[in-house]
Structure 1
Amino acid sequence: MSAQPSLRMLDWALLVLLSVLWGGSFFFSKVALADWPPFTVVLVRVALAALALGLYLRARGRRLPTAAPVWRAFFVMGLLNNILPFSLLFWGQTQIASGLASILNATTPVFAILVTKALAPETEITANRLAGVALGLAGVAVLMGGDALSSTGFAVLPMLACLGATLSYGAAGFYGQRFQAMGIAPATGAFGQLAASSLLMIPVVCLSDRPWTLPLPGPASLAALVALALLSTALAYVIYFRSLSVIGQLNTSMVTLMIPGSAILLGSLVLGERLSANHYAGLALIALGLLAIDGRLWRRLRRR
């Protein structure tokens, strides 16, 4: 049976950075959705990010792959990792609080495990990993408290949409591991799937939103869109694909357990929001979950 690699300090540091970038995406998207509909926000997000990565690759003198199988993989990855989850999450956030959306998004490791076991039964899922997922999800629930449910109540369809997004992320993480075997560098893989997503979203947006009829967004929405594209998408995906190739899908998927905590800490540091007792308790449970997933502390305790 194949085992997931252990995480080094650099791997953990990149996962924490990724959680901050993706944690901020819930805030940025909420601001952008105030002026533009979900499909248009998805298109602008992936198109700007693809443009930024394309310029980066050109400046580095890297040639883009032209083989048909590679671009087929880009289109599948773009569908699973961008179009479906972004559209479902953004639509969900127009109906429910972003805090509740982030809680539902934190179930991605559960779906990643289910997808991996379904498609690769030989993959080893250890007891400490399962315990870590349980602790992490409990920490997310405690961290958010009841505030996340107070905005619009229990809207079933938006919550199912957010859960559908996490299932799509789980499938994307499994599928994306083949990029390493195909010899695709992280930045190239990120650009390819974002470019493919942009091409797929153009007809959807033209038919559904007719963006040329929409009013121009305000400065706050424009700034949020740029940050969403450049920080939470372009930079984040370079880190994401690097993590997939080095530490595997299941380890990488655990970043979703840290995203709500990162969002809370960013709100405290940047916006002056105060942390309450349940925030500290939730962060402690998430930390315990990550330690359990990593497994090194548990192994040391057993040896002693």
Structure 2
Amino acid sequence: MTARRLQLDPFAIVCLVGCAALWGLNQSATKLAVAEIPPLGQAAARSAGAALLLALWTWARGGRLALGAATWRAGLLAGLLFAIEFGAIFVGLQYTTASRMVVYIYLAPFFVALGMPFIQPGERLGLPQLAGLGLAFSGVVLAFSEHLGGGSAAPNGQAWWGDALGVGGAALWAATTLTIRASTLSSAPAERTLMYQLLVSAVLLGLASVAVGESLPAQVSTLAWGSLAFQTVVVTFASYLLWFWLMARYPATQISAFTLLTPVFGLAAGVALLDEPLTLRLGIALAAVVAGLALVQRAPRKP
């Protein structure tokens, strides 16, 4: 197994920026599809489809997805957290905009930074890294400040409910990350870690969809099906597999910091897909995020 590295290298940075771009686009894609495909059913279908692709990919490479007796408890917990996280996000998008949702989801690095020292003392952030996280998040808040105040993002002034679900999703994402790093999953193959989450979430979200009485409409547009396919193949299968591979090899706090780029990409996707306004704030926010991430990447001085 490849040894864990103390700093991100250029390959990891390119991969993380690519993941952030895909996840930023994913919020707009989900928002487009949720108008036609019910949220819990959509999330369940996404997980089930990605699980099938992961199994086929592993089989084609000559491997097998033995879940293993040593990892099943941690795997079930990670899958449960994963299911609740995406249930909250998909339902929340019915009440708030993609731009608002992406801000709250990507509070996750702060929850990770708060919890990681308790399980990995060597990954404690120093003052420059903490300042970098603060600067980057300030840029994100600036970019979306016009979306954070009003209740017009949803009918009947219910945007706060979607916002709350977004914050909950961020906490659950961080809890999943910490669970993986603190358990036997930290040394398990990335495919196994992802498969636990996909299988458990597909079952739980599918049951939840049936329980609340969701049903597929008689007609679904090509755009909605395309959005679901993008979420399944590109985001949930390919990018998540890459994410867990990176998590097993690089410091979690540094990796999670790169997710702060995702809201900037999310705003760019909103401009293209949801007709949201493009302002000077995006450029200023991007500069703040890049500067903050540069601080996070600084290796702390040795005593």
After TM superposition, the score normalised by the length of structure 2 is 0.87
1:232 maps to what in 2? 235
Deviation by residue 1:21-64 (Cα, 9 ceiling, x = unmatched): 11111011101100122211110111111111111111111111
Question: 1:156 pairs with 145, 155, 160, which one?
Answer: 160
Question: 1:166 pairs with 154, 162, 170, which one?
Answer: 170
1:191 maps to what in 2? 195
Question: Structure 1 residue 120: deviation in Å?
Answer: 5.0
Moved more, 188-197 or 58-67: 188-197
Question: Structure 1 residue 169: deviation in Å?
Answer: 0.8
8 Å CA contact retained: 2:41, 2:209: yes
8 Å CA contact retained: 1:18, 1:255: no
The yes-or-no answer on 1:221 pairing with 2:205 is: no
1:173-212 alignment, distance < 5 Å:
173-177=177-181, 183-211=187-215
Question: Structure 1 residue 277: deviation in Å?
Answer: 1.4
The yes-or-no answer on 1:141 pairing with 2:141 is: yes
8 Å CA contact retained: 2:102, 2:266: no
1:271-290 alignment, distance < 5 Å:
275-290=278-293
Question: Structure 1 residue 273: deviation in Å?
Answer: 7.9
Q: Which amino acid aligns with 2:254?
A: N
Question: 1:249 pairs with 247, 252, 260, which one?
Answer: 252
1:78 maps to what in 2? 79
RMSD: 2.7
- Give ranges in structure 1 of 5+ residues lacking alignment: 300-304
1:67 maps to what in 2? 68
8 Å CA contact retained: 2:95, 2:161: no
8 Å CA contact retained: 2:132, 2:292: yes
Deviation by residue 1:165-211 (Cα, 9 ceiling, x = unmatched): 11111111111225776642223322232122212223222222343
The yes-or-no answer on 1:291 pairing with 2:294 is: yes
Moved more, 129-138 or 114-123: 114-123
8 Å CA contact retained: 2:83, 2:200: no
8 Å CA contact retained: 1:106, 1:256: yes
Q: Alpha carbons of 1:214 and 1:270: their partners in 2 closer, same or farther (altered >3 Å)?
A: closer
Aligned equivalents of 1:235 and 1:197: distance in 2? Answer: 17
Aligned equivalents of 1:99 and 1:182: distance in 2? Answer: 32
Aligned equivalents of 1:201 and 1:271: distance in 2? Answer: 27
Deviation by residue 1:49-101 (Cα, 9 ceiling, x = unmatched): 11111111111111111423323322211122x21111111111111111111
8 Å CA contact retained: 2:99, 2:266: no
1:93-132 alignment, distance < 5 Å:
93-119=93-119, 123-132=123-132
2:27 maps to what in 1? 26
Q: Alpha carbons of 1:18 and 1:55: their partners in 2 closer, same or farther (altered >3 Å)?
A: same
8 Å CA contact retained: 1:24, 1:232: no
Aligned equivalents of 1:176 and 1:184: distance in 2? Answer: 9
Number of residue pairs the alignment of both structures matches: 294
8 Å CA contact retained: 1:108, 1:166: yes
Secondary structure, in 3 states, of the residue corresponding to 2:70?
helix
Question: Structure 1 residue 214: deviation in Å?
Answer: 3.9
After TM superposition, the score normalised by the length of structure 1 is 0.87
Aligned equivalents of 1:267 and 1:238: distance in 2? Answer: 25
